[in-house]
């Protein structure tokens, strides 16, 4: 791709496409190495569209840090939905487990790895 890029005039659609791909080479290589990685994130983008449409309403979230926290929570909610979980049950369980969860096992609480506990585990 780098060799082809040198042959393509700047500003053309082909040059833009090559530049886009080259800038994201690590992600492309990851996709090719792991068959479980989806080719695109269209499904997630469709899930977050309602949130994105409201972003002008959230311009005044208090601070950049507040906005980042809100984005993280919204991402968790949509990821829970994407993985077939009811968001309220997921968040409630994760927030209950979080204080005692070992740092080395924190990924167990991510939506793609999470399974609800029976209640007697707490």
| DSSP structural state of residue 86 | -
Q: How far apart are CA 25 and CA 19, in angstroms?
A: 10
**Does 118 map to a domain?**
no
- In this predicted model, what pLDDT tens digit does every residue of 17-35 receive, in sequence order? 999 999 999 988 888 888 8
DSSP 19-49: HHHHHTHHHHHHHHH-TTS-S--HHHHHHHH
Do 46 and 93 share a structural domain? yes
Question: What is the extent of the structural domain holding 27?
Answer: 2-33
**Does 119 map to a domain?**
no
Do 49 and 17 share a structural domain? no
Do 73 and 15 share a structural domain? no
pLDDT at residue 85, as a whole number: 96
**Does 88 map to a domain?**
yes
Tally the domains of the chain: 2
- In this predicted model, what pLDDT tens digit does every residue of 41-92 receive, in sequence order? 788 788 777 767 766 666 666 777 887 888 788 888 989 998 999 999 999 9
**Does 57 map to a domain?**
yes
**Does 120 map to a domain?**
no
Supply angle C-alpha 15, 25, 34, rounded to 5. Answer: 140
Do 52 and 22 share a structural domain? no
- In this predicted model, what pLDDT tens digit does every residue of 98-118 receive, in sequence order? 999 999 999 999 999 998 875
Do 58 and 19 share a structural domain? no
Q: Which residues contact 120 (CB under 8 A, 6 or more apart)?
A: none
Do 58 and 18 share a structural domain? no
pLDDT of 121 strictly over 70: no
């Amino acid at each position: 791709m780098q060799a082809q890029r040198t042959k393509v005039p700047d500003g053309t659609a082909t040059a833009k496409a090559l530049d886009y791909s080259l800038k994201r080479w690590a992600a492309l290589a990851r996709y090719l190495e792991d068959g479980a990685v989806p080719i695109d994130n269209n499904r997630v983008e469709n899930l977050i569209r309602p949130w994105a449409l409201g972003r002008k309403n959230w311009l005044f979230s208090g601070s950049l840090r507040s906005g980042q926290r809100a984005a993280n929570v919204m991402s968790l909610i949509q990821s829970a939905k994407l993985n077939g979980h009811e968001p309220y049950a997921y968040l409630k369980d994760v927030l209950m487990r979080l204080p005692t969860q070992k740092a080395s096992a924190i990924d167990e609480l991510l939506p793609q790895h999470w399974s609800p506990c029976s209640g007697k585990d707490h």
